[in-house]
A and B are shown apart, each in its own frame.
Chain A
């Protein structure tokens, strides 16, 4: 069972180490961790995907709260969030295969960001499922390299009543 935690932290030196260190020390399983600036330059937001049951989640949350630089922890309800991942994939391709790959990319609303004689680089964002589907399709051509950011997520605004 995975949980997505959105954690606001004060942008102090070492804050990432503190959070990451806590996970390893307490033997919690982290699936992905993403950190970036927010609208407030003093605050960063971490999106942490944790694996574990409800009890583990409770301990993770409580232990995180004990870190002095952690401001707020929200477990994101998977039904009420927008979650995205970004992937960059370099696919091997011959000149003949190029248009087919571009077509696939189009279907996934992905961008071609680099063209070389024997490869293409594709940039895609989306949910985990979508990116996995894309990667799967491209695997046939031969993936030279790829990199993923890990999940980021935000709660949606209030629903219209």
Chain B
């Protein structure tokens, strides 16, 4: 068996894991690893900042369903990754992040570019490792990938002492995993499955509440079957948009703080909620003790700790969503639920999403902008977003049809996620049209990644919803702080000039009559494009459930 150095062992291990794309940023502590990458045949995308690198790997993982891989050097390289790891952790995204570390002999001495990244990342990774022995390297990588992608996925960090990447060892990629403390369960408990099926069959006004776990599990077929066989209306969280086509009758779209009126109202009337891969987040439930208080709950989740964490649940089932649904489905009776269906139809007709728009005005309303994008792309593009008002409009005014079509930072709400994530998403879905919906505030948080777009000619279409404000905070200040706009007015640079500085086709749009033409122009272009679309400064996102209020106390819409 030939001996390989640590850098080469990492490359070979990545190949064993079928990794072909890596996002990274070199530095002193990972220089040996980069040397091994030089002729490795692995495609390495150089970002412009380690936060961009980790978000790109995250976007790649979300769009492709594969494990995202990223590399940063020691010290600031690792600490710059922290937000991205936390972001991936909150949304259960499988990542393997490699960070360089000072040599074993220098550890703990406050050496140059030393930071305790395993300590720092402990609460924001699913697991992490510090490798100080080259003999442990291949085994550690195998375990890291296994942990990242199985059970409830999440980011795993491997910190590599520099000498480990230099020293040699025989390369032996283990075929088996030995992790006695890690055994995720997949199949649901038989008895609970029977109980759930019975409850679903007996319910008069059942409601599916589906979260990101269903997308991760790949359960769209099973969910469609359940919805259509038992005629159960379905509402999703931000993380599950597209799990069921939103243009269908039983789709209620998103619920929660900025959910549709009909979804939120349905939660007030249902008698049985079937929560699938969803975690009763405060942005969904509003005031917790009022949320679906009148209904029984079935909760299916692969993570036992999610069950009963926020709400007591009548029928908990621990297991992989897809597996559990396959177990339940044979017992589900075909049903019409006529009265309930009528009521759902009535709610949808009575309380549609709406906004004020003047046909004769040249003002471009953000909701209209989103609808135009949906219209132009026939609802077939993959939408990636930053975080804020534009993110909510993107969720509301676009009909999502398939899983992994909407990519957004949900749990952590990371401004600056969108631009790098869109790059990763495009690389993960090379045949799809990726559109980044950005705010003028958010996009400036990782704007340097325009350089990555330029280098690799990533054909992402960037649409900036430019209202010259940090709009979501401004909206709260308007509603709850008497319009005291404290530090939310944010002067934007000339995005057109900025785009052009990076060699990206860019255009400003200020008139409604020019909008559809500009969208067409941007979309028809082969490469990347930026549209800087000016929207009203003080438009609000509605409906809205104020923080801490119950879903029945929705405002507007």
Task: Compute the total of residue contacts between A and B using a CB distance below 8 Å.
Answer: 39
| A36 on the B face (CB < 8 A) | no
Could you jot down 25 A-B contacts, CB within 8 Å? A9-B181, A10-B180, A10-B181, A13-B130, A14-B119, A14-B130, A17-B119, A17-B122, A18-B122, A21-B122, A21-B123, A22-B123, A59-B305, A62-B304, A62-B305, A65-B304, A65-B305, A66-B303, A66-B305, A68-B127, A68-B147, A68-B179, A68-B181, A70-B181, A71-B180
Which of chain A's residues 66-107 have a Cβ closer than 8 Å to chain B? Answer: 66-71
Report the separation of the CA atoms of residues A125 and B524 in the bound assembly, to the nearest whole angstrom.
80
Most buried by A among B119, B180, B308: B180
Interface of B toward A, CB cutoff 8 Å: 118-119, 122-123, 126-127, 130, 147, 179-182, 303-305, 307-309
| A25 on the B face (CB < 8 A) | yes
| A136 on the B face (CB < 8 A) | no
Report the separation of the CA atoms of residues A59 and B307 in the bound assembly, to the nearest whole angstrom.
9
| Chain B residues within 8 Å of A10, by CB | 180-181
Report the separation of the CA atoms of residues A58 and B308 in the bound assembly, to the nearest whole angstrom.
9
Report the separation of the CA atoms of residues A18 and B121 in the bound assembly, to the nearest whole angstrom.
11
Report the separation of the CA atoms of residues A55 and B126 in the bound assembly, to the nearest whole angstrom.
23
| Chain B residues within 8 Å of A70, by CB | 181
Report the separation of the CA atoms of residues A22 and B125 in the bound assembly, to the nearest whole angstrom.
12
Query: A69 to nearest B CB, angstroms?
Result: 5
Report the separation of the CA atoms of residues A14 and B125 in the bound assembly, to the nearest whole angstrom.
14
Report the separation of the CA atoms of residues A68 and B147 in the bound assembly, to the nearest whole angstrom.
9
* Closest B residue to A60 using CB positions: B305
Which of chain A's residues 17-40 have a Cβ closer than 8 Å to chain B? Answer: 17-18, 21-22, 25
| Chain B residues within 8 Å of A68, by CB | 126-127, 147, 179, 181-182
| A149 on the B face (CB < 8 A) | no
Are A59 and B122 in contact, with the CB atoms below 8 A? no
Residue in A14, A17, A22, A69 whose CB lies within 8 Å of B181: A69
Query: A94 to nearest B CB, angstroms?
Result: 47
* Closest B residue to A67 using CB positions: B181
| A111 on the B face (CB < 8 A) | no
Report the separation of the CA atoms of residues A41 and B219 in the bound assembly, to the nearest whole angstrom.
43
Report the separation of the CA atoms of residues A67 and B181 in the bound assembly, to the nearest whole angstrom.
8
Report the separation of the CA atoms of residues A62 and B182 in the bound assembly, to the nearest whole angstrom.
13
* Closest A residue to B304 using CB positions: A62
Query: A151 to nearest B CB, angstroms?
Result: 23
Given A68-B179, A68-B182, the answer on whether A63 and B305 have CB atoms closer than 8 Å is yes
Are A71 and B181 in contact, with the CB atoms below 8 A? yes
User: 11 additional contacts, CB 8 Å, given A59-B309, A65-B304, A66-B303?
Assistant: A10-B180, A14-B119, A58-B308, A59-B308, A62-B304, A62-B305, A66-B305, A68-B179, A68-B182, A69-B181, A70-B181
